A and B are shown apart, each in its own frame.
Chain A
Amino acid sequence: MLALRGIAKEYASPAGVLRVLDSVNLDLKAGETASMMGPSGCGKSTLLSVLGGLEAPTAGEYTLNGANPYSLNADALAHFRNKSVGFVFQDHCLLPQLTVLENVLVPVLANSSPDRDAAERARTLLHQVGLRARLDHFPAQLSGGEKQRAAIARALIREPQLVLCDEPTGNLDRHSADAVAELLLSLAGSGERIVVTVTHSPDLAARFGSHFVLRDGGLFRA
């Protein structure tokens, strides 16, 4: 269960305080998938960052399964991100120096306790995303869609409770976008996992169970 109450986010700028989010409220149940749309600069990515533990809100409360990650110290927050959140970025953000398999396993490295099944899980995930034959390839050798599929596999390697996608198909052609969207919902959206995506694409948004719009700093159910 994910809950946001009165979430606000402000930034200081030479022109004064910039209030990007203003009293955002959100409730998502386990297994729920949600899309968020809104004009450019409305704070979609900011809201995603707040949800992902990347950026603390200026005001308000955020709980995931009853716990507020921002009440944790920095290391515990990092642990929260590692265990509970999976990110899929618009531009995949794969490390160019690692192979596909190694990229998927990067989150495992953050954990000091050994995870013996991680490698097998990674291979399974990559098989599921259709990259079984590309395990030892580097990102430079993949297409945009393949990179994004690898990124999805990475987001799921720690079996997180929450998957956050920031414009996951924004840089892809339609065919690739469809494939990625399908993967996202089939893999990420199964079980008790909450999936939240930020998108400009109505087609992608339509595939998600709940729809929200960000406008004037507030979040509204569409």
Chain B
Amino acid sequence: MPISHSTLLRRGLAHYWRTHVAVVAGVVIAVAVLGGALLVGSSVRASLRRIALQRLGNTSSAITSAILFREQLAASIPGSAPMISLEGLVIHPGSRRRAGQVLVYGVDERFWRFHGVPAVTLDGRDAWLSSALAAEVAATKSDTLLLRLEKLGDIPAESIHGRKEDAAAAIRLRYAGPLPAEQMGEFSLRPSQGAIRAIFLPLRRLQQDLGAADRANTLLVNEHVDAKEMLREHFALADLGVRLKPVSDATQVDTFSGVLSPQLADTATHLARDAGFAVTPVLTYLANSIRANGREVPYSLVAALPPGAAAPTNTAMPDNAIVLNDWTARDLNAKAGDKVSLDYYLWKDDGRLVTESSDFVVSAIVPIAGLAADRHLAPEYPGITDAESVSDWDPPFPMDLSRIRPRDEEFWDSYRATAKAFVRLEEGQRLWSTRWGNVSALRLNGGSISAEEFAAKLRQALDPEKFGLTVMPIRALALDASRGSTDFGEYFLYFSFFLVVSALLLVGLFFRLGVEHRTRELGLLEAVGFTRLQAARHFLSEGLVLASIGSVLGLGAALGYAALIVYGLNTWWSGAVGTHDLQLAFEAPPLLAALVFGIVTGVGVTALTLRRLLRETPRALLLGGWELPAHAAKSTRARWYAVIFAVLSLMLAAAGARGDIPGAAAFFGSGSCLLIAALTGFRRWLSAPASSGLLGRSTSLWPLAFRNLSIRPGRTLLVASLIASATFLLISVESFHREGAVAGGRDSGTGGYRLAAESVRPIYYNLNDTAGRETLNLAGQNDTNFVSFRLKPGDDASCLNLYEPRNPRVLGAPQTFLREGRFAWSSSLALTPEDKANPWLLLERRSIAADVIPAVADANSLQYVLHKKVGEIVEVPGSRGVPIRLQIVAALSDSLFQSELIISEENFRRAFPDIQGFRVFLIDAPAPRVAGVSDALEDALSDSGFDAQDAGEKLAAFHRVENTYLATFQALGALGLLLGTLGLGTVLVRNVLERRREFALLGAVGFATSRMRSLVWRESLLMLAAGQLAGIASAAVAIAPVAAERGFTGSLVSMSAMMAAVFLTGVVACWLAAGYVARLPLVEALRAE
């Protein structure tokens, strides 16, 4: 047969190609934007994955430790490579440039072999730099570089015997060249999208300069090895810092750190007792003075022993009893019953060295024999116990050498570190316990097994991961983190939302225009016997073909759109992503999703347009119009919608003003409802019954222009809605823009602090303490107040980090800071008035469970990066193989703490006992001196890599990321608005074309062309103005609280410019449409054919 349904379809598609091209174009845009946005998301994820894996090389897992373990462990674990991995400060004396927080790697040929890349020559003092670091310090080959980093000592720095200000190693190196990424120049165990600043130096050199011969702190393991199992099998007690040594006729268990952790002490004690050993725990401490009867003995060791030990102490000793050896008793002229005072140093947790005293009563005098003569009761303290004389002591605390008498040297010559006095173990532990433990050694006597056998048993019983040797599944963690904290696909979908909606509205508009043009065809089909379904199917088939063509073409455009966005992220918007290394990744699922979306929505829009028409009778369709009753019904509904949404808008605004709902949400919701009310009110106005007095009262064209718009109210409303919605969104988004460095008071995001600082190396001294300042050469800063925070390094939890933080940074905040109650809050779990006034106090309250620590986070980080809410738990890895559970008890509002979680310092010491010193600081200084204070601090603390910046500027850095996202949203929103304006222009031109007979009539009755143009102008301007006014008015309501809070100066200018641009674009469209009038063939239009 010469005709079939497909013939009808093909002919219809070909004949009305002009309209169809516009429909297809709309679908292309919608699919391109949707597919492109989804591709951007998958591209960012793929890029993060690629970057992370590239930087890991062949590393599958890593064994790390806070202390150094035997390098030999690597030999026992095949497929592994040892290294020392630290953070340091690189200084280029030549350019005077310095770079802090540099990744320092001590490696040898095993490192390159492990990764399967050509090795570089690392001799003597050679150092290779990553490209980014080389550029930062402006180094050229053979330049001298200075590397400063923290020495990894066995003895905790924050203990009395730990080295502090001389704990830094300064290593002079020669720059050998930049190490490209292909040769692991960007090696990093922690995923980060930013440039890697790393320095590679010979492992032996680093070991030597750190005083850590044959030691390492990191073992890289490849995927073919079960790291946990191999570690379990091959670790030695020495890798945990545990030592067993024969002393006299006993075996002593002690550690390189000088103290046994409670876990180690318990395990060893139980094992020893099970093996028949008598266990004597010992705690030895250095007393600055033993005083009695007006005399004193300087710098003496005191041992705390349990009662009942085969030792001078016995069960009858009261708590404050002290036993003196006879040498000491003679020196003090002391006898049983005399009062003796001990003076000793304590290193306080807030970084102060204090001298404290305790009084005792002599309970016995013992000869220097047996346990009382045992010089091994004291731990090994380098610089003290290995000194040849007391005067040669090099302790990490102040010592008055003038107090040393010849008698003291004689004692040292004979007895070395033998204790001069003994107290009860419990009393010693009460005075001298630290967070690392309260026993310095375990003395084992007797036993049914040998010392070697006991050592083997002890090794078997200890889980290395619970003692600081951590196995991290690095590759799995990196892949997890690569999913990203920010779903860019989702974000760009939101950003492009208006573009997608505009495109779909245009699809609907153009399709509707096309169908309106063919209502008679629809009527004819029904008249000749097509059922409603058959007629609808015909047009739906056209819609399906157009949507399919548009969707397929849109896929190609999606690739282009995604490529453009990725280019934008690498360039204009790199502030939001912090990298220039994103690459477009082609993935089928996003494109398929966009294809399906395009086809479904294209057909959906067609169906929605047809639904309206197919309700008309065939006769009405043949007449090409709509029946009036439908108008009347729609008009009534529109009125009710307008009222309902207006009331809703008022209710939301009132709720927001009262604080029942968060202000921003309330007012944004109120503005949105007002927008809908305005548009439905406009619809109602358009559908209002025509007034009979249109003509005759005046010669103004405005009433006629309005009447003309109301003939096609749906079309008019669609265009006005596009413009109103875009205007509303763009103004509202602009209001969230934050500019410039933020200076504020105590309740602001900076807490009123002037400077925020961080150091590469920990600072152990209290910067508010006179002694501390003198030690650190900060004597001139007496009017400056410091708040010092402990830092557990980890992943940045702010928007600056694209990777999902699996191990976020944690700060330990001092009590004085918590009590001050600074900063502003978004929400908290506070119940009492005191806690509500200062939610920081929640960090000191008891938590919901014994293993849960209360923590504070910034609201932005909580929501957008960690994806948690107040009350939820965040787990961070602990150093003893057990995750630390932090419950978020409060959220800060837009603070400078967006990169970390904060807990109390007390909880921090408990959770992370191995982390010592302070690395993050907030500084209060008189405003005129802030710059000077910053310079002075960086100068005095340069060896610690101290870097201070204006607190407001730090907060502004976060705002810049936010602003970049907003700018992206606005750029895409503006594109959507332009599309909307294009729609306006199309409708206007279409209106003119459809009304050519009307204009012909006007011309015939005497309207000059200029007057007809003026009529079209007014119609166009009414649509444009209605849309913009509705959008602006609604947006003003939406942004009221933000404007009240922050003012609007800068934003007002850019917003006005944006609105002016939109208006001008609309005016151009109006002008084009008006110009068409003059080109209409009016005479021909008056004829029937």
A-B pairs with beta carbons under 8 Å apart, 28 shown: A13-B628, A14-B628, A54-B526, A54-B618, A54-B622, A55-B618, A55-B619, A78-B530, A78-B531, A78-B534, A79-B529, A79-B531, A83-B529, A87-B527, A87-B528, A89-B622, A93-B524, A98-B3, A98-B7, A101-B3, A102-B3, A105-B3, A106-B524, A106-B528, A109-B4, A109-B5, A144-B1089, A154-B528
Contacts of B15 in A (CB 8 A): 96-97
Closest Cβ of chain B to A95, distance in Å, is 6
Contacting residues of chain A (13-54) with chain B, CB-CB under 8 angstroms: 13-14, 49, 52, 54
Establish whether residues A98 and B11, one from each chain, have CB atoms under 8 Å apart when the complex forms: yes
Which residues from B are CB-within-8-Å of A122? Answer: 2
Residue on A with the closest CB to B526? A78
Query: Is B521 located at the chain interface by the 8 A CB criterion?
Result: yes
Residues of A within 8 A of B617 (CB): 49, 54-55
8 Å CB contacts to A: which residues of B656-703?
689-690
A114 nearest CB neighbor, chain B only: B1
Q: When A and B form their complex, which 6 residue pairs have the shortest distance between CB atoms, in order from nearest?
A: A82-B529, A97-B15, A97-B11, A110-B529, A107-B528, A78-B531
Chain A residues with Cβ below 8 Å from B529 are 78-83, 107, 110-111, 158
Residue picked from A78, A87, A122, most chain B C-beta under 10 Å:
A78
| B628: chain A residues within 8 A (beta carbon) | 11-14
Most buried by A among B15, B528, B533, B1089: B528
The answer, yes or no, to whether A2 is at the interface (CB within 8 Å) is no
In the complex the two chains form, is B2's CB within 8 Å of A105's CB? yes
Q: Which residue of B lies closest to A12 (CB)?
A: B629
Cα A78 to Cα B529 with chains together (Å): 4
A8 vs B622: C-alpha distance when bound (angstroms) = 21
| A110 and B622 within 8 A (CB) | no
CA distance A25 to B689 in the complex (A): 36
Rounded to whole Å, the gap between the CB of B532 and the closest CB of chain A is 6
Beta-carbon contact of B530 and A97 below 8 Å: no
Residues of B contacting A3 with CB < 8 Å? Answer: none
Most chain A beta carbons < 10 A, residue from B529, B533, B629: B529
Could you say which residues of chain A place their CB within 8 Å of the CB of B850? none
Contact B528 A102 (CB under 8 A): no
> Closest Cβ of chain B: how far from A161's Cβ, in Å?
13
Q: Report if A133 contacts B (CB, 8 A).
A: no
Chain A, Cβ-Cβ closest to B521: A95
Given contacts A13-B628, A83-B529, contact A93 B520 (CB under 8 A): yes
**A213 contacts the other chain (CB 8 A):** no
Indicate whether B940 reaches chain A with its CB closer than 8 angstroms: no
Instruction: Evaluate contact between B619 and A105: CB separation under 8 angstroms.
Output: no
Whether a CB of chain B sits under 8 angstroms from the CB of A7 is no
* Chain A proximity mask over B612-628: 1 for CB below 8 Å, otherwise 0: 00000111001000011
Choose among A79, A83, A105 the residue that contacts B1 (Cβ–Cβ < 8 A). Answer: A105
Q: Is the CB of B1 within 8 A of A119?
A: yes
B522-566 toward A: CB 8 Å interface, digit per residue (1/0)?
001111111111100000000000000000000000000000000
Query: Do B14 and A97 touch across chains, with their CB atoms under 8 A apart?
Result: yes
Residue of B nearest to A118 (CB): B1
B406 to chain A, nearest CB (A): 121
Give me 16 other A-B pairs in contact (C-beta within 8 A), A107-B528, A114-B1 excluded.
A79-B529, A81-B527, A82-B529, A87-B527, A93-B622, A101-B2, A105-B1, A105-B3, A109-B530, A110-B528, A110-B529, A110-B530, A110-B531, A119-B1, A144-B1089, A171-B1088
Q: Are B525 and A106 in contact (CB under 8 A)?
A: yes
**Which residues of B come within 8 Å of A, CB atoms?**
1-5, 7-8, 11-12, 14-16, 520-521, 524-534, 617-619, 622, 627-629, 632, 689-690, 1088-1089
In the bound assembly, the distance between CA atoms of A143 and B562 in angstroms comes to 53
A14 to B629, CA, bound (A): 8
Interface residues of A (CB under 8 A from B): 11-14, 49, 52, 54-55, 74-75, 78-83, 87, 89, 91, 93, 95-98, 101-102, 105-111, 114, 118-119, 122, 144, 154, 158, 171
Given known contacts A54-B619, A75-B531, A119-B1, is B8 in contact with A109 (CB within 8 Å)?
Answer: yes
Q: Which residues of B contact A154 (CB under 8 A)?
A: 528
Question: Nearest Cβ in chain A — how far from B1084, in angstroms?
Answer: 14
Q: Tell me the complex Cα distance, A144–B3, Å.
A: 24
A11-B627, A81-B529 known; A119-B2 Cβ under 8 A:
yes
Residues in A whose Cβ lies below 8 Å from that of B7: 98, 102
CB atoms of A106 and B629 under 8 A apart? no
**In the complex the two chains form, what is the Cα distance from A171 to B1089 in whole Å?**
8
For A87, the closest partner residue in chain B by CB is: B527
Measured in the bound complex, the distance between the Cα atoms of B617 and A91 in whole Å is 19
* Chain A positions within 8 Å of B8 at CB level: 98, 106, 109
Shortest distance from the beta carbon of B621 to any chain A beta carbon, whole Å: 9
CB closest residue in chain B, given A105:
B3
Distance between Cα atoms of A110 and B531 in the complex (Å): 7
* Cα–Cα, bound, A119→B622 (Å): 26
Measured between C-beta atoms, what is the minimum distance from B613 to chain A in Å?
A: 15
- Which of B4, B525, B690 meets A110, CB within 8 Å? B525
A109, B7: Cα distance in complex, Å? 10
> How many Å lie between the Cα of A101 and that of B7 in the bound state?
12
Interchain nearest-CB distance for B922 vs A (Å): 72
Bound Cα distance A65, B617 (Å): 24
A75 touches B14 (CB 8 A): no
Residues in A whose Cβ lies below 8 Å from that of B12: 97
Docked Cα-Cα span, A78 to B531, in Å, equals: 5
Which residues of A lie under 8 Å from residue B534 when comparing CB positions? 78, 110
Could you tell me the distance in whole angstroms from the C-beta of A92 to the nearest C-beta in chain B?
10
Cβ of A97: which chain B residues have Cβ within 8 Å of it?
A: 11-12, 14-16
**How far is the CB of B12 from the nearest CB of chain A, in Å?**
5
Cβ–Cβ < 8 Å partners of A95 in chain B: 11, 521, 524
Contacts of A96 in B (CB 8 A): 15
The smallest C-beta distance from A129 to any residue of chain B, in angstroms, reads 17
- Chain B residues contacting A106 (CB-CB under 8 Å) are 3, 8, 524-525, 528
Query: Which residue of the partner chain A has the closest CB to B520?
Result: A93
- Give every chain B residue within 8 A of A75 (Cβ-Cβ): 531-533
User: Which residues from B are CB-within-8-Å of A111?
Assistant: 529
Residues of A within 8 A of B533 (CB): 75
Residue of B nearest to A48 (CB): B619
Of B8, B520, B617, most buried by chain A (CB within 10 Å of CB) is B8
A117 → B minimal CB distance (Å): 10
Residues on A with C-beta less than 8 A from B3 are 98, 101-102, 105-106, 108-109
Contacts of B618 in A (CB 8 A): 54-55
Contact of A74 among B1, B11, B16, B532 (CB under 8 A): B532
Please indicate the chain A residues that have their CB under 8 angstroms from the CB of B619 in the complex. 49, 54-55
Q: Tell me, rounded to whole Å, the shortest Cβ–Cβ distance linking A176 to chain B.
A: 12
* Contact A82:B528 (CB < 8 A) given known A97-B11, A98-B8: yes
A45-B759 Cα distance, complex, nearest whole Å: 91
A171 to B618, CA, bound (A): 22
Q: How far is the CA of A9 from the CA of B690 in the complex (A)?
A: 25
Complex Cα gap A109–B524 (Å):
13
For B623, give the chain A residue with the smallest CB separation.
Answer: A45
Q: How far is the CB of B538 from chain A (nearest CB, A)?
A: 9
Instruction: State in angstroms the CA–CA spacing of A97 and B531 once bound together.
Output: 21
Give B629's nearest chain A residue, CB to CB.
A12
Q: In the complex, which residue of chain A has the Cβ closest to the Cβ of B1? A: A119
A78 B532 Cβ-Cβ under 8 A: yes
CB-nearest residue of chain A to B12:
A97
Least Cβ–Cβ distance between A86 and chain B, in angstroms: 8
Chain A proximity of B773: nearest CB distance (Å): 88
Q: A110 to B2, alpha carbons, bound, how many Å? A: 14
Residues of A within 8 A of B530 (CB): 78, 82, 109-110
Shortest A71–chain B CB gap in Å is 17
Cβ-defined contact, A52 with B527, below 8 A: yes
B836 → chain A closest CB, angstroms: 61
With contact pairs A82-B528, A110-B525 given, residues A102 and B627 touching in the complex (Cβ less than 8 Å): no
User: Across the interface, which residues of A come within 8 angstroms of B629, CB to CB?
Assistant: 12
Measured CB to CB, the closest approach of chain A to B626, in angstroms, equals 12
- Indicate the member of A106, A114, A122 with the most B CB atoms within 10 Å: A106
**Chain A, residue nearest B635 (CB):** A14
